[in-house]
Structure 1
Amino acid sequence: MKDPKKNLYIRLYLTALLLMVPFGAILYKLIVLQWVEGPELKASIEKQIIRYHTIPPVRGNIYSSDQKLLATSMPLFDIYFDPLSVSREIWSNEIDALAEKLSRFGRSKREWLTLLNSSRNAKHRYVKLLDNIAFSDVQQIKNFPVFRHGKFKGGLIVEQQSFRKMPMSGVAERTIGYSNAHRGQTGLEGAFDTWLKGKEGKRWMQMMAKGHWKPINNGWDEDPENGYDVVSTIDTRMQDILHHELLSTLQYYEADHGTAVLMEVKTGKIKAMVNLGRTENGNYGEILNYAIWESTEPGSTFKLLTTLILLEDNKADTSTTIDIANGSWTFYDRVVTESNFSEKGASENFGTITLARAFEQSSNVAFARLVFDNYRDNPAQFVDKLYKIGLHKPLNFEIKGETPPKIPHPDDREQWSGITLPWMAFGYQTSFTPLQLLTVYNAVANNGVMVKPYIVEEIRKNKKTVRRFEPAVLNPSICSQKTLDKLKVLLSNVVKQGTAKHLYNPQIKLAGKTGTAKLDYWKEKGSRKYRASFAGFFPADNPQYSVIVVVDKPNAEKAYYGSRVAAPVAARTALAVMSLSPTKPRELIYTPITTEAASPQKMQPKYEHILQELRKGRMPDLTGMPISLALSTLENEGYRVSATGAGRIAWQYPTPQTAISKTMMVELKSYNR
């Protein structure tokens, strides 16, 4: 007979064992959670409720050489709403009034009520109401019904973002450029992005109720480092002058696009760079940087280099004569003609002219024959001279996108043919950007010293200079002084008695060379597409600035010669720029845009709209307005004004349609004193 007590013990042991198995499993799981999976789970949870948030730095400003803002970062705000955080009482009492207040932002009161109520009914907690709102508007919105109860009771969520603004509006837009995912890295913004962008900061944030994040002050935060400021060589007054002179010409001649660059002779500083192209709506804007990107056959502006080589090699002198016969010359199956060949006719004899006169009148036949006769047995001698000057190398300009120059060499049989040499002589077969060609003209003005163009003077941090950029010499002497002296006389005579003689002004002596290049001649017989250009410097007797103007595809029915289309822009810019000098002659007067390229309607100031523009916080166009009237109008409205000169306004800052405030200084200039 079994012992009942023993059976009881057995049952107890079995029961205990059965209880210990799940307890052991639980204990095992706790150990695994604590020591094996625990750290990972803890990190995962903390990542959801505690995490690093990046703090964007303030991007550095870009300034002009005269300390005007070219690009700056401005705060803009997006407005979001959490309708579920609002109590039923506040909602019923104030939602109608909120919709009324919001109706000033693009929607009717009914539309705002529909959006607000539907979002609450759908239990949405992050509803976007407005974007890109100014700080002043945000301050008002915070006092709106519902929102005035704060973010936890009123549901208002304000998020800040940085907006890059160019105070000069579209002026120099492509030169200033962009640095973002949408437009890429262009202009100064792209070239100096490493300096401008700064360094992101980090901050520990904890998720609170309703999706809000709160900073945790644990001492581990990293403050953002704001970007450095970039000071460019651009002068806003010169930029504004060159911009509007080129713009008016493009408009009048209905051109496709154009570019113009103004450079300081001694240093290579770019004082103004304008790039304007026709937009889809028929207006003009800064689309591409044609000055550094567009490499084309230069046309007759290349004759300066041809003349330099002929003089340096003693192949010709300014008094050397050339028979250009009837203005045409047949070479193999190709014909070189003078630009006015069709006007004079094939039967009339052009006669014999000197090299000096050929340069002044821009004779294609004379230069083609001179170069072919002197270098046909050794064409490399001519081309090597261009290489020796350094014209085959890119400038390595700071702004990205420069197209390398193209100069064919006789050793390269794929690029060289029987007509290459004579066609090079008058500006075809080679290819340069406007800035590369300007560098050569600047070297002639600078007594043979070829300096590298540059567009940034210094980098600053907290108004202290951390890096300064100095002039760099590319070639200390492009030719002999004897040749330089002759070239300067030739360039001066182009304006005195040559193709640009209609622009001669004894007040400002301009020197330079006109150019007219035919486009698409190899694929369109009888093409009427041209590129008009002018390159030179001023004043001729003491060069301070060099300038190049290129106008692409003007309406040939109006004009297409460089002397008529491009050269006037350079002449008027020279007069205006020298008028800025405090030591200018008293008789020097610049009246903006009064050439044939200006339409009469655009010269009429719209006095009746000036007050309206000012009261909207926008700078009106004051050009042509009596400076005394503008001064009184602005001061009566509470603006600070600095005015120079008398008569009508020729220059203003800020530029038209720029957002302004009464803390800014408005500058007005009249060059008639």
Structure 2
Amino acid sequence: MATDFKKQGLKRITILAVVIAFLFSLDAFRVFYISTVKGDEYSAKAESQQLSDSEIPAKRGSIYDSDGNVLAQSATTWDIFLDSKNITNKSRDKVVNGLAKILKLDDEGKAELLKKSKKDTHYVIIAEQVENDIKEEITAFKIKNKFSNMIGTEQNTKRYYPYGEFASNVLGFTGEDNQGLYGLEYYYEDELRGTNGRIITVKDAQKHNLPTDYETSIDAVDGNSLVLTLNQNVQYTLEKNLSATMNEYKAKGAYGVVMNCKTGGVLAMASLPDYDCNEPYKLTYSKNIKAIEKITDEDEKIAAKSEAIQNQWNNFVTSSTYEPGSVFKTFIAAAALEENIVNLNTTYTCTGSIRVKDYVMRCHYHPGHGTETFTQGLENSCNPFFITVGQKLGVHNYFKYFEAFGFTQKTGIDLPGEAGSQYYKENQYGLVELSSASFGQSNSLTPIQLCTGLCAIANGGKLLKPYVVDHVVDANGNTVKKTQPTEIRRVISEDTSKKVRGMMKSVVDNGTGKNGYVAGFRVGGKTGTSTKLAESTNDKTKYIVSFAAIAPSDDPQVAMIIIMDEPNQDLGGGALCAPIAAQVVETCMQEMNIEPEYDEKESKNLSVYTPNVIGKSVGEAKSVLGSKNLKCKVIGDGKKVVRQSPASSSTIPTNGTVVLYTTKEEKKTVTVPDFSGLTISEANALASENSLNIEISGINLSASNVVAYRQSTEKGATVSAGTVITVSFKNTNSVLD
């Protein structure tokens, strides 16, 4: 009995031992499974619960013009988030109402905020890139109400463009996450963006951050900055004049590029209509806005708006092609002179047309120019003359120079989306194609290709690579990259370059480019027109007109192409684009510190500084003014001059009138009249009638058929008698060449 009892006890102990051993083995296996098989997974989960990993955004590099003016910069902003899990039902209304008020949310925004406050998460963004004053207000709100475990802020950055639309097609813009989407912002993304940093913080069981002793941080590395070749004043002059002409003639677009022909650096580049870099999705051109507003179908309206927005992002100068028209004759002239096929005195008799096989190709001047020299042929933009020159040049030589000037390949400019040219290959030319190409039709080029080729004509024959970024600097201001001028090849000799420059100067002095004249500087130019293909048989003929310019023509520093796309009047590049080029040339010369050199005629018409005659007797004042070839008008019956207009040391045209006041109480004001459409003599008479002076700009005073088209002070403005108004004139003779 005792033995059985012992056996049963031993059996129970054995079973218990086995059970215990089994349980221990299960625990051991579980420990093994958790630590070895699932170790990495559980470790990561634990770490995610114990650690907070926050990103410190790097500051994007700035973009400067050539003089150091800020064109794009990043500033610190803040993202606001909620720890929704910590928001109680009791505190929710106060949190939502307070934040909605600070963030100025409408009813829809407030409803969305309430929805986010109920999410089962420790992190939900409710506002991005808010300014520091808003962030400070939110911080004060959460501290006051003890909501610090419910509302959080994180540092972010926002891109700002101080000048809005200025150089927008060059600069581009960034997206919501601060990455470059277009223009230089996109092309130089790797330089600009920098490297984000991190802050890793340990949390306790209640998800609260532990003291900073447990914090690890990796500093952000700010992006590099770009210093451009763009000159702010040249860019502004280009944009202002393109915009004025585009709006006046309701053009589809207006484009221009200005280059330093000695280096290849781009001084200005514009493609209108453009956009505000701060609001890139907003339409800017009133003509497009009005056209879209008239569309009644909603889907069609949305599609039209989307297309218009994308078009205003497009940089026509680099990303689109067009037939250059007669501007291309400068390159034919260079090739023919280089090959000794013609000289400056080679003559041709233009009858108004020329037959090429079964086609009659006409000159823009249908009666014909008669007998003319090669230089006169360029002055007159004579198509038949250049057709014969192209035929003498032959397909092989023509294509050799077409290729040498860089027209068969992209320029490699440091901007995104550069288009390639569309052209006939050498083996595709027949006599008709060669003849058409010789006056700028058949082949389509980008404006940047044309301007780069023009630089080669201007600088003595060297084809240079164009560029926009002069150098790259790091966050400490150290230069890390510097762009050096790159010569691609020599295209023509210095002698040929000099001859073509002289021919281009004659175009401005005597030919179709008279409106490119700038007093004191020798400007060379060439007008151009190309006919656009009609979209339907009922379409009115549409044109792209242009003007190419170099200055000063004896030693060119700049070259430019100015283009007007589909103006609403049949006016050529000489009427629409050459006046713009003249304004840009004048600014370029000032910015480059190139002093004007006036000829005898120009010197006689220079403005003078108004002498100071205050305090002198009326008789003495008249004598002083007379010695400067100035007239005077006396107001009041006093003995001495107490006030004058224009003020002393300001400029006044020769033979201008100074208004002299002899009593302090007297002060005469006048209303500025409208000078537009008047001849120089008519404008002078109207100015004199209204006790005003006019400064004549934009045309050689000896030129005929000129009228006023712009004035520095708008009509209807009230100004002091004697005020000087700058009135711009242009030649009214316009050809579609």
Normalised TM-score (structure 2): 0.70
1:199 aligns with: 195
1:507 aligns with: 520
> Do 2:525 and 2:550's aligned partners in 1 also have CA atoms closer than 8 Å?
yes
> Do 1:321 and 1:354's aligned partners in 2 also have CA atoms closer than 8 Å?
yes
Moved more, 580-589 or 450-459: 580-589
Deviation of the 1:234 alpha carbon: 1.0
Within 2, Cα distance between the matches of 1:366 and 1:526? 31
Deviation of the 1:453 alpha carbon: 1.6
1:408 aligns with: 424
Deviation of the 1:68 alpha carbon: 0.8
1:310–1:137: structure 2 CA closer, same or farther, 3 Å change rule? Answer: same
Residue deviations 1:202-234, cap 9 Å, x none? Answer: 443445677676797568643222111111111
2:634 aligns with: none
> Do 1:491 and 1:512's aligned partners in 2 also have CA atoms closer than 8 Å?
yes
2:492 aligns with: 479
Within 2, Cα distance between the matches of 1:523 and 1:193? 42
Secondary structure class of the residue paired with 1:141? helix
1:187 aligns with: 183
2:477 to 463, 470, 484: 463
Are 1:544 and 2:557 matched, yes or no? Answer: yes
1:7–1:213: structure 2 CA closer, same or farther, 3 Å change rule? Answer: closer
Deviation of the 1:544 alpha carbon: 2.2
> Do 2:379 and 2:507's aligned partners in 1 also have CA atoms closer than 8 Å?
yes
Within 1, Cα distance between the matches of 2:153 and 2:205? 16
1:480–1:136: structure 2 CA closer, same or farther, 3 Å change rule? Answer: same
Secondary structure class of the residue paired with 2:528? strand
Secondary structure class of the residue paired with 1:329? strand
Deviation of the 1:248 alpha carbon: 1.0
2:683 aligns with: none
1:10–1:251: structure 2 CA closer, same or farther, 3 Å change rule? Answer: same
- Equivalent pairs: percent with the same residue? 26
Are 1:261 and 2:257 matched, yes or no? Answer: yes
Residue deviations 1:379-424, cap 9 Å, x none? Answer: 21222233344443322111122223344343x3xx3334111011
Secondary structure class of the residue paired with 1:419? helix
Normalised TM-score (structure 1): 0.76
| 5+ long unaligned stretches in structure 1 | 342-347, 598-622, 630-645, 651-673
User: In the TM superposition, what are the counterparts of 1:113-512 in structure 2 within 5 Å?
Assistant: 129-144=126-141, 146-149=142-145, 151-152=147-148, 155-178=150-173, 180=175, 185-207=181-203, 221-277=217-273, 279=283, 280-281=288-289, 286-325=312-351, 327-341=352-366, 348=367, 350-372=369-391, 374-375=392-393, 378-410=394-426, 412=427, 415-461=428-474, 462-476=476-490, 478-512=491-525
Within 2, Cα distance between the matches of 1:579 and 1:524? 48
Are 1:50 and 2:40 matched, yes or no? Answer: no
> Do 2:199 and 2:215's aligned partners in 1 also have CA atoms closer than 8 Å?
no
**1:401 counterpart letter in structure 2:** G
Deviation of the 1:36 alpha carbon: 4.2
**2:321 counterpart letter in structure 1:** S
1:211–1:76: structure 2 CA closer, same or farther, 3 Å change rule? Answer: farther
> Do 1:409 and 1:416's aligned partners in 2 also have CA atoms closer than 8 Å?
yes
Deviation of the 1:357 alpha carbon: 1.5
Alignment RMSD? 3.8
Deviation of the 1:117 alpha carbon: 7.0
1:158–1:487: structure 2 CA closer, same or farther, 3 Å change rule? Answer: same
Secondary structure class of the residue paired with 2:456? helix
> Do 2:461 and 2:492's aligned partners in 1 also have CA atoms closer than 8 Å?
yes
Within 2, Cα distance between the matches of 1:118 and 1:500? 67
Deviation of the 1:307 alpha carbon: 1.0
Within 1, Cα distance between the matches of 2:214 and 2:121? 33
Are 1:566 and 2:577 matched, yes or no? Answer: yes
2:708 aligns with: none
1:119–1:67: structure 2 CA closer, same or farther, 3 Å change rule? Answer: closer
Within 2, Cα distance between the matches of 1:314 and 1:583? 34
**1:466 counterpart letter in structure 2:** V
> Do 1:204 and 1:215's aligned partners in 2 also have CA atoms closer than 8 Å?
no
Secondary structure class of the residue paired with 2:589? helix
Count of aligned pairs: 582
Deviation of the 1:368 alpha carbon: 1.1
Moved more, 298-307 or 315-324: 315-324
| 5+ long unaligned stretches in structure 2 | 275-282, 291-307, 597-605, 609-650, 654-673, 678-711, 728-737
The higher relative CO (CA closer than 8 Å, separation ≥ 6) is in 1
1:600 aligns with: none
**1:139 counterpart letter in structure 2:** E
**1:272 counterpart letter in structure 2:** A
**2:256 counterpart letter in structure 1:** A
> Do 2:202 and 2:215's aligned partners in 1 also have CA atoms closer than 8 Å?
no
> Do 2:460 and 2:493's aligned partners in 1 also have CA atoms closer than 8 Å?
no
> Do 1:441 and 1:546's aligned partners in 2 also have CA atoms closer than 8 Å?
yes
Moved more, 23-32 or 229-238: 23-32
Secondary structure class of the residue paired with 2:375? helix
1:456–1:409: structure 2 CA closer, same or farther, 3 Å change rule? Answer: same
**2:65 counterpart letter in structure 1:** S
2:631 aligns with: none
